[in-house]
A and B are shown apart, each in its own frame.
Chain A
Amino acid sequence: MLELSPEEWVAVHLSLKIALVATAVALPFGLALAWLLARKQFWGKALLDGLVHMPLVLPPVVTGYLLLISFGRRGPIGAFLADHFGIVFSFRWTGAALSCGVMGFPLLVRPIRLAIEAIDRKLEDAAATLGADRFWVFLTVTLPLAMPGVIAGMVLCFAKALGEFGATITFVSNIPGETQTISAAIYTFTQIPGGDAAAGRLVLVAIVISLAALIVAEWLARRAGTRFHGE
């Protein structure tokens, strides 16, 4: 009863791969953007801030459609990336990772930004007087002190990526073995007669993965936190 079929395993494996890749690729962009929004004043900042948050408020289908017309094979960005770098998104797992990354991006940026804003800038000044340029100040002071926020952002992004459905299915469809994640597979199983048991098994898997992510995040954040206060 609780034994997963090969097809279900594929969906689980694919979901984890897509969520991990989406989070890992989004992270450097998220860090840069969070730092920019937390520390810099520039023209168009409110616009950029709004743009980052768009996927959170837009219907996911709209985000998926926008991805389709820009990153699809005939979309301007999609065609450029396919011609020059051989990177194809449409109907590939990479496209699923892209849509998951975009959907999770606001959830990644926000906690990191808040964590950076909470850091005493005087510590960064102190690092500068000790000879650290901006890059090293970020790497040795800002980033370690913002680590609990970074971990929180990564977990939220990962969870969002794992559960993403609307944008992904709109952008890259629901192809078993390529773009069919746990969520899409559950949806498919609920649409076919006798699919309840399979759907139920995948629901359990989704719950276990989500709980595990939460526990790991809690543990990591606690470790990062105690490093400031104790031995």
Chain B
Amino acid sequence: MLAIDVEKRLGDFALTVRFKTAGGVTALFGASGAGKTTLVNMIAGLIAPDRGRIRLDDTVLFDSAARIDVSAHRRRIGYVFQEGRLFPHLSVAANLDYGRRMCGLARDGAETARILDLLDIGHLLDRRPGKLSGGERQRVAFGRALLMRPRLLLLDEPLASLDAPRKREILPYLEKLRDEVPMVYVSHHAPELKRIATSVVLLDAGRVAATGGIEVLDAATAELMG
């Protein structure tokens, strides 16, 4: 369970967000500029809120009153970025193994094989990220984040850089990931979220406009359509 109650000011933009998730896949939905990425970066520990608390299960990750700010590398929160951000100087195999090495986890061949199989990336291990297609790159990014055995997986528009056929190619893999680990899934694309989300937090101009099940998406899209 993820509990968030934060405030952050960035220039003219103010973010005031409070919500709780019950696990599963939480969609962070909203127009661009609503503060989705800022919020996700706060959960990951890449930027610090001005005030507030972030709690994951029974661990306090951030608490301005108690002066707690667990640094990003200790949070064990997987993050799949929009552009993948694979390390260009490492092979796919070394990219996938990076989180395990840095977190000091024992090698688990069976688990690795299962995830390679799940994402269908076993044949890419010797390649460099520069030689991968967009879809392959994103699947490797999923694998890299999963293999550090995260407590939570953050996905920031993981399909936004892909064209429609690539999106259709990746979505089934994402559906398979749903049961692996709780996720926070950022997107401004409602159809994508409908297929994968179990609950929805609607952000608008730095505030929570609505929370609920995927019916929130319908209401929000209807409103956008006017």
Contacts and interface: CB of A to CB of B under 8 A. Distances in A.
Contacts of A230: 128, 130-131
Contacts of B44: 129
Contact of B76 (A122, A131, A132, A144): A131
A144 B126 CA distance: 18
Contacts of A145: 88-89
Contacts of B75: 129
Given A122-B85, A128-B71, A130-B102, 16 more contacts: A123-B85, A125-B46, A125-B72, A126-B87, A127-B98, A127-B102, A128-B72, A129-B73, A129-B145, A130-B78, A131-B103, A131-B104, A131-B148, A132-B98, A145-B89, A231-B127
**Binding site secondary structure of chain A:** helix
Interface stretch (A69-77, A133-141, A192-200): A133-141
Interface of B: 44-46, 71-79, 81, 83, 85, 87-89, 98-99, 102-104, 126-128, 130-131, 144-145, 148
Nearest to A134: B73
16 contacts: A125-B46, A125-B72, A125-B85, A128-B71, A128-B73, A129-B72, A129-B75, A130-B103, A131-B73, A131-B103, A131-B104, A133-B71, A140-B87, A141-B87, A145-B89, A231-B131
Contacts of A228: 88-89, 128, 130
Interface residues of A, number: 22
A143 to B, nearest CB: 10
B136 to A, nearest CB: 15
A39 B160 CA distance: 30
A45 interface: no
A91 B21 CA distance: 72
Contacts of A122: 81, 83, 85
A131 B76 CA distance: 7
Interface string A125-167: 1111111110010001100110000000000000000000000
A120 B84 CA distance: 13
Contacts of B85: 120, 122-123, 125-126
A227 interface: yes
